[in-house]
Each structure stands twice: as structure tokens, then as C-alpha cells.
A = this chain, B = another copy of it.
Amino acid sequence: MSLRYALLALLSVEPMTGYDLQKEFQSSVGHVWHAPDSQIYPELRRMEKDGLLEGEDVIWGQKGTKRLYHVTPGGKKALRTWANTTMEYTRTRDPAHLKAAYLELAEPAAARDQMREHVRHHTEQLEQWQDKLRELQSGTSAMLNRRLAATPEADRRRTTEFKIFAYEGLIARAQTEIEWAQRGMSLIDALDKPS
């Protein structure tokens, strides 16, 4: 259900096509929520059917058309309701920690690879998020600037601060994961050669 609200949030800044949205899901929002095009296009249709969006066919070149979606009042309301509602947390389901709990079944070399991969993955994420955070802080985030331009002055500070806050959380989590996996590598070494 979150996909729907991520789309609404993006479209509440300005009308976009499915393609535009898909690109945002590869960069900006994509850092928090990923979705492929094959999920986005049908969801936009459903949202239109549910009255949250209105699609408008726009001429594109000579023969082409593209469908620009904009948020309806119903969509704005749904977005506000979502923002004001506490979500329920789903039960834990964590492949990385499940595997870690059974690392004794792996060869030490394979165990090390897994921890190295965990570090690599989260380092990559961390760097993306840190870049994004710097953009937000320096006012060079294109998406945020467009959003701020459409936001009443009194809410601009909040808007920026909460985006920064979200990324700080992701960064803190990535750092925690990296430290954990590094401890894991030490542990594997210690158990492998207990000398």
C-alpha cells in the first residue's frame, strides 16, 4: 500500500507521467522505496479508477501521446490521512540475520564473503544516502526545491527538516549494519583459528 502514497507524494508537487515517476523511483524516493515500472503503470491506473488521480493525455511529438497524472482533491485527502495515521508494523522477516544465525553451517571463507557482502551493500547504500543528505542540506536537491516552491513559506522549514531526518535514520541504520558485519568478520576469524 505504500507505493500508492509514495506516488501521491511525488505527484502532489507536480503532474508527471509514469515514466517520470519511474525515474524518481530509481533516484530520490527510490532511496526509501523501490518500485519497477511494471508495478507503477498498473498502480497509476488503479489510483485513477479509485479517484485519487486524474490522467490527462498530452500530445508528445507528432504521433505520440503521454499520460500526465495529477492528484485530485480525493487524492490529497488520502495522502493527508495516510500521513496522519500510525502504521502497523509487520513481523520481522530478515534474511541476513536468519543466515547469520546459522553461519556455523557455512565454510569460514563463505561466511567471510557474506559479511563482506553485507558491508559492501550497506556501504553503497550509506554513500547514496549521505550524498542525498548533503544535497538536502545544501539546498541543491532538485526534487526538494520543486516541492518547496509549491509549499507555503511557513511549512518549508519543516519539509526540509523531515527529509533530512529520514535520511539520517537510514544512514544510522546502515552504519549499525556495517559495524555488526565487521564484528562478524572478527568473530569468524577468531573461531576459525582459536590459537
Contacts and interface: CB of A to CB of B under 8 A. Distances in A.
Interface of A: 2, 5-6, 9, 29-34, 79-80, 82-87, 89, 91-107, 110, 113-114, 117, 121, 125, 155, 157-159, 161-163, 165-170, 172-173, 175-177, 179-180, 183-184, 187, 191, 194
Identical chains bound together, number: 2
A191 B105 contact: no
B34 A93 contact: yes
B34 A92 contact: yes
A155 B104 contact: yes
Contacts of A175: 176
22 contacts: A31-B92, A33-B92, A33-B93, A34-B92, A80-B105, A83-B105, A84-B106, A86-B114, A86-B117, A92-B170, A97-B166, A97-B169, A98-B166, A100-B166, A101-B162, A104-B158, A104-B159, A157-B194, A165-B187, A169-B177, A172-B179, A173-B177
A86 B116 CA distance: 10
B100 A169 contact: yes
A26 to B, nearest CB: 10
A184 B117 CA distance: 31
Nearest to A118: B89
Contact of A99 (B87, B157, B158): B87
Contacts of A29: 98
Contacts of A162: 100-104, 187
